[in-house]
Structure 1
Amino acid sequence: MRAALQSQGLDGFIQPRNDEFLGEYVPDSAARLAWLTGFTGSAGLAIVLPDQAAVFSDGRYTLQLESQTDGAIWQRLHITETPPETWLKTRGHRGQIGYDPWLMSANTITKFTDAGLTMVPIANPIDKFWNDRPAPPSAQATPHPIECAGESATAKRQRIATTIGDDGADAVLLTDPHAIAWLLNLRGADLPHTPIALCFALLRRDASAILFIDPAKIPPETRAQLGQSVSIVPREAMAETLATLRGKRIRLDPATAPIRLTQMLGDAGAITVSGDDPCVLPRALKNPVEQSGARAAHIRDGAAMCRFLAWFDLTAPTGSLTELAAAAALRAYRAAAPAFRAESFNPISGAGEHGAIIHYSADEASNRAIHPNEVYLIDSGAQYPDGTTDITRTLWTGPATPPDLITDRFTRVLAGHIALASAIFPADTTGPQLDALARAPLWQAGLDFDHGTGHGVGSYLSVHEGPVSFHKRAKPIPLAPGMILSDEPGYYEPGAFGIRLENLLLVTEAPLTTKKPFLAFETLTLAPFDRRLINPTLLTPQAITWLNTYHARILQEISPLVDEQTQTWLKTACAAI
């Protein structure tokens, strides 16, 4: 890398984790950061200078950075505590820093230029010497049926086109494949866990659209659903198509679109209008069909999860399980359902000290036995045509009684989880305002966790979806009925154990008679919490009532769907406290 930069007269290069779609997940063919550094987390960035190099990520990956990167080569830095542009500035660099314009947004580039850095767009040098680079994905795009979508693609295009016209634009250039999947009722298999087709699209104010994708990925049934108002153009011809937009006002999100598209529109003589992706908020507001689908998917997923928990409770004390074996067993329970399509992300199956690695991913090298009498964390989810699931449970492997320290931490996390799940709040409330509810029981003991409390979840789309989240630094976007978010506070003791408890919540109207509308949450996830780890003296009477009611609901809704052995286990696991 340094030789390549020197030959171009550059003083450094920035390599982000993402691909040209600037999303969280990338195909193997775009995993440049992992190739360069060894770090495989879903968020990060590396900077290579002539005399030093640094790799950045957030609090979820602090321990993973240490285990996957060479400390003799890479400085490992917290991207929030030490922003990359600040790190570069403090090094006194005023030379030219190269970047791949397909991999960074206009907003990101502005952060570096505002820090006094000279940014130079170049072809990515990694592509020249990544000799064993995998081929790009070639899966076909498939229709997402109206029975699951709840609204036709034609109606969605007309609805979004209206917002484009109201904004004074002639068209919007969509760069997020998730937005395009929602808009066109399109799904795919270009990523392992997220059912999308990697593509760009242009939606005009008359509701016609151009889909920039390899035509070979569009089978006849998909072509038929898209209709005559949607044209198919190969991505290689995208620049040629954009060149026809001279004088047109094109809406583009400077936060989520690669700056190369801004440059291409400028070269074409188009007028770029900065604006949020108009599909993001409508996609987050699940319609009644999607809400019903989410409930059905979670009942299905809850049955699989409860079968797994019953099996794990019986097997774990023997010491015969490994992290990979437990994760494989859970996948098998889910796969028994005909509607199962895939896991919604690579499971986080962490025993003991591995549970403290927030986004730990077990592999053959790290896979370890799950010992008796320790904490085991399993964070997993599934994709079904009618919904996406995400659940985390922290379990005691027995047979001994867990230590008081662990039950204290577990119960504080549970208390925070319940406080958020049972919240009733005004309709203009935002995610950052609710985040503290889940942290308060930990704060009372001088404890905290270094990740957001919750994220949005798609409808047979990404398990991580915007624009809302429970996070101290999240955008202040009001919650609204139909949004689905996770509730997942945690506590992590490095080198010892990790605790996280996660359910998905559906935002609903609160059953209150007031002048001002209030909202509440409906818990979608159906699987019990480990009663052995609960210290009831740390829970309020209201929290105990919530927990007992939740467990009684699980027993009622899941028992008829599982085998007799699991039914027997559920009676004990869901017994009132």
Structure 2
Amino acid sequence: MSYIEKLSAIRQQMKTDGVAAYIIPSADPHISEYLPSHYKCTPFTTGFTGSAATVVITEDFAGVWTDARYFEQAEEQLAGSGFELVKLKVQQTPEYIQWLSEQLPHGANIAFDEKLVSIVLGELLHKQLAHLKPNLQHKDYLSPIWENRPALPSEPAFLIAAEFTGKAISEKLTEVRKAMKRHHANYHLISSLDDMAWLFNMRGADVSYNPVVLSFALITLEQATLYIQPDKLTAEDKYTLAKNGVEILSYDTIANDLQAIPQESTILIDPKRNCFALYKLIPAAVHTVLEINPSTALKASKNETEIKNTRTAMVKDGVAITQFLKWVKENVDKIEITEIAAAAQLKSFRAAQDGFIGESFNTIAAYKAHGALPHYGATKESNVAIKAEGLFLVDSGGQYRYGTTDITRVIPMGNNTEEEKTDYTLVLKAMIEGCKTRFPKGTCGYQIDAITRRPLWDFALNYGHGTGHGVGYFLNVHEGPQVFNATATAVPVELGMITSIEPGIYRSGKHGIRIENLVLTISDQSNEFNEFYAFEALTLAPIDTTLVKKELLEQSHIKWLNQYHANVYAKLSPYLNEEEKVFLGRMTSEI
């Protein structure tokens, strides 16, 4: 069935039900960013494969709302599909709701699958469309037309030992229950898969690149229930969970138990990380407290064991990155290196490292103009050969049993223009500006975002994505609650948080430049003005300096870069052979 035929089939169902607009979010019942194949509704319906999009279908219009990271990709993938790209002005906002309010008549029927809509989005739809007095309905128009729809994943899950987590399951449950008591809640529903993985020291392979397991949890002050396909866990793991006070029930029984919560109870539920369908099952007499999951904040601030192990992962990853950079530079124009081949070679270097589980996301290996697409993914059709000219951007990461990595480096291949040199230097300056920032306790991500962008703003340059995102511990490469972007999110940058700093410049049809390190929030100093924090650069890999225009850098940036490179050489060289050491020595020499 073609995309145009799918669109027609959806409209036929809408016509039968008298539905004026159908909304398809990019989500699953756990409100995940990255989805199991069963819930990849946007690619199935439209052909667009970006990780953030909302589809809206009416009788005479079909649009895909997405942000600047995906504009060029969406234009290309939506061609001939019957769907149009609608460019979001502000990243991660439901601007389509305003469009619907202007397009639809009073009393219109609006439908969506309530399993794929968060509580906060469901409430927002009701609130912002209230003037239309619409009839909002739960409808699934995809299942009837989705032939051979992928089944829910059945990969096994496993528990990880305290030597890797630093805390037993029972300790984590105690911390969550303390937070429940502060909210006067005697029930707590958890749907978000990374929170589940953290709380139960559980990992799996239900979602590509994210070691999570489809599951729910219902926590009371006395017991914890894990809803999961029982055959995913070994008898030994089930015994460990039972010892830690965890009961195991079937994945699909969560709905029944929510409906059975006693009247006058109070349930704590995260409105951004739980679906509208489950929320509506909670009896009306149960008081709801809509607040962020306690586990989200607990998970974000890494403990000493997690920090120590992450540093080990960074060394392993840095060795692989160094070997990859050497391989690219020494083999370009000697053998054919395509974008796909380069990504495969990088994975092989990582796979040789102890503890490597897999990649943390699909590698972005983007040559020349492809680098201007921030979330480019090479396909058989787009794959090009790397030559000894221009810029080659590689954004990649690894999942290790003791940490998660995410790094971007730009490799100058030769014959670079003055514009490329200037852009490269300014992006490097911006990255360093963010990394070397000292800031008072209570500082939020949007303040770090502005500080990082300043060197680019000075030249009237900017980029359309956030400066940074939280990173999990052998978990999702995108993790909250902290985020470094322009949105005034009131989440302070806390000690122990791991966050990316990744400014960029993207010139359509020419090149893209992004340089990314992961940083750990550490204590700096205290005085009469406040307690001050700083960032430790966790990522250990050389940053190419051949294009750097020193006159555009301040002495503080040069000092930071030289010290960073000295540390990179000291940490990585013991694990390299003599040729690799010489190469790393050249790459990390002072400027």
Q: Under TM normalisation by the shorter chain, which class is it?
A: over 0.9
Aligned-partner residue type, residue 358 of structure 1:
P
The aligned amino acid for 1:560 is P
Q: Check conservation: 1:317, 1:397, Cα contact below 8 A.
A: no
Say if 2:380 is the partner of 1:364. yes
Partner-residue secondary structure (3-state), 1:300? helix
Alpha carbons 1:481, 1:509 under 8 Å: kept: yes
Equivalent residue, structure 1, for 2:200: 184
TM-superposed deviation, 1:317 = 4.4
Counterpart residue number, 1:222: 237
- Aligned-pair CA distance for 1:72: 6.8
Query: Is 1:256 aligned to 2:273, yes or no?
Result: yes
**2:114 partner amino acid:** P
CA 1:567–1:170: 2 relative to 1, 3 Å: same
One-letter amino acid matched to 1:54: G
Tell me if structure 2 keeps the 8 A contact 1:317–1:373: no
Unaligned runs of 5+ in 1: none
Q: 2:394 is matched with which residue? A: 378
Q: Distance in 1 between matches of 2:454 and 2:386?
A: 31
1:121 deviation in Å?
3.0
Structure 2 counterparts to residues 340-355 of structure 1, below 5 A: 340-355=356-371
Aligned residue type for 1:256: R
| Corresponding letter in the other structure for 2:158 | T
How big is the shift at 1:512?
5.4
Question: Using the alignment, how far apart are the partners of 1:159 and 1:453 within structure 2?
Answer: 31
- Which residue number corresponds to residue 13 of structure 1? 22
For residues 436-451 of structure 1, the aligned pairs below 5 Å read 436-451=450-465
Pick from 400, 403, 412 the counterpart of residue 426 of structure 2.
412
Aligned partners of 1:233, 1:486: CA distance in 2, in Å? 37
**In 2, Cα distance between the equivalents of 1:58 and 1:227?**
44
| Equivalent residue, structure 1, for 2:121 | 108
Deviation per CA, 1:181-218, whole angstroms, max 9, x where unpaired? 11111111101211110111111122x21111111112
Task: Give the partner amino acid of 2:251.
Answer: R
Q: Deviations over 1:238-291 (max 9, x none)?
A: 222223212121111122210111111136x53322221111101001001011
Partner SS for 1:428? coil
Find the partner of 2:310 among 279, 294, 310: 294
Contact 2:395 2:406 in 1 (8 A): yes
Q: Which amino acid aligns with 2:43?
A: A
Under a length normalisation based on structure 2, what TM-score does the superposition of the two structures give? 0.95
Residue in structure 2 matched with residue 459 of structure 1 by the alignment: 473
> Which amino acid in 2 is paired with 1:46?
V
Alpha carbons of 1:359 and 1:93: their partners in 2 closer, same or farther (altered >3 Å)?
farther
Deviation at 1:78, TM superposition (A): 2.4
Per-residue deviation, 1:455: 0.3
Distance 2:390 2:556 in 1: 29
Q: C-alpha separation between the residues in 1 aligned to 2:332 and 2:413?
A: 5
Matching of residue 90 in structure 1 with residue 105 in structure 2: no
Map 1:381-396 onto structure 2 (within 5 A): 381-396=397-412
Instruction: Say which SS state the counterpart of residue 410 (structure 1) adopts.
Output: helix
- Written as runs of structure 1 = structure 2, the 5 A alignment for 1:148-187 is 148-187=164-203
**Which residue number corresponds to residue 146 of structure 1?**
162
Report if aligned partners of 2:183, 2:289 keep a CA contact under 8 Å in 1.
no
Q: Is 1:49 aligned to residue 61 of structure 2?
A: no
- Normalising by structure 1, we get a TM-score of 0.97
Q: Which residue of structure 1 lines up, in the alignment, with residue 294 of structure 2?
A: 278
- 8 Å Cα contact 1:202-1:211 kept in structure 2: yes
Residue matched to 1:266: 283
Question: Aligned partners of 1:253, 1:557: CA distance in 2, in Å?
Answer: 41
- In the alignment, the residues of structure 1 paired with residue 112 and residue 529 of structure 2 have an alpha-carbon distance, to the nearest angstrom, of 53
After TM superposition, give the deviation of residue 428 of structure 1 in Å: 1.1
SS in 1 for 2:362: coil
The change in CA–CA distance for 1:514 and 1:318 in structure 2 (over 3 A counts) is: farther
State how far apart, in whole Å, the 1-side matches of 2:344 and 2:577 are: 20
> How far apart in 1 are the matches of 2:477 and 2:547?
28
- Which secondary structure does the structure 1 equivalent of 2:546 belong to? helix
SS of the residue corresponding to residue 456 of structure 2 reads helix
Q: Secondary structure at the match of 2:114?
A: coil
In the alignment, is residue 308 of structure 1 matched against residue 324 of structure 2?
yes
Q: How far apart are residue 522 of structure 1 and its match?
A: 0.3
Q: Which runs of 5+ in 2 are unaligned?
A: 1-9
Q: Could you tell me which residue of structure 2 aligns to residue 211 of structure 1?
A: 226
> How many Å separate the matches in 2 of 1:525 and 1:283?
20
Is it true that 1:66 corresponds to 2:88 in the alignment?
Answer: no
How far off is 1:115 after superposition?
2.8
1:77 alignment partner AA: V
Retained in 2: the 8 A contact 1:113–1:119?
Answer: no
What residue is the counterpart of 2:544 in the other structure?
Answer: 530
Shift of 1:236: 2.2
Inter-CA distance 373–458: structure 2 relative to 1 (3 Å threshold): same
Could you tell me which residue of structure 1 aligns to residue 4 of structure 2?
none
Matched-pair identity in %: 35
Offset at residue 145 of structure 1 (A): 1.1
Q: Is 1:348–1:380's contact at 8 Å kept on the other side of the alignment?
A: yes
Name the SS for the 2:260 alignment partner: helix
Whether contact under 8 Å (2:20, 2:58) holds in the other structure is yes
Supply the distance in 1 between the matched residues of 2:564 and 2:103 (Cα, whole angstroms).
54
The range that moved more, 21-30 or 80-89, is 80-89
Give the Cα separation in 2 of the matches to 1:424 and 1:365.
Answer: 45
**AA at the equivalent of 2:278:** L
Q: In terms of mean alpha carbon deviation, does 61-70 or 446-455 score higher?
A: 61-70
Contact 1:262–1:272 (CA under 8 A) maintained in structure 2: no
Matched, 1:561 2:570: no
1:99 corresponding residue in structure 2: 112
CA contact (8 A) 1:146 1:152 kept: yes
Instruction: Tell me how far apart the structure 1 counterparts of residues 283 and 47 of structure 2 sit (CA, whole Å).
Output: 36
Report the more deviating stretch, 194-203 or 237-246: 237-246
Output the amino acid matched with 2:30: F
- Residues 460-499 of structure 1 correspond to what in structure 2 (within 5 A)? 460-499=474-513
User: Are 2:248 and 1:238 aligned?
Assistant: no
Cα distance in 2 between the residues matched to 1:123 and 1:113: 16
Amino acid at match of 1:39: F
Q: CA deviation at 1:88?
A: 1.2
Which sits farther off after the overlay, 64-73 or 128-137?
64-73
Give the match for residue 6 of structure 2.
none
Q: Tell me the equivalent position of 1:334.
A: 350
Deviation at 1:119, TM superposition (A): 4.9
Task: Measure the CA separation in 2 of the matches of 1:41 and 1:274.
Answer: 29
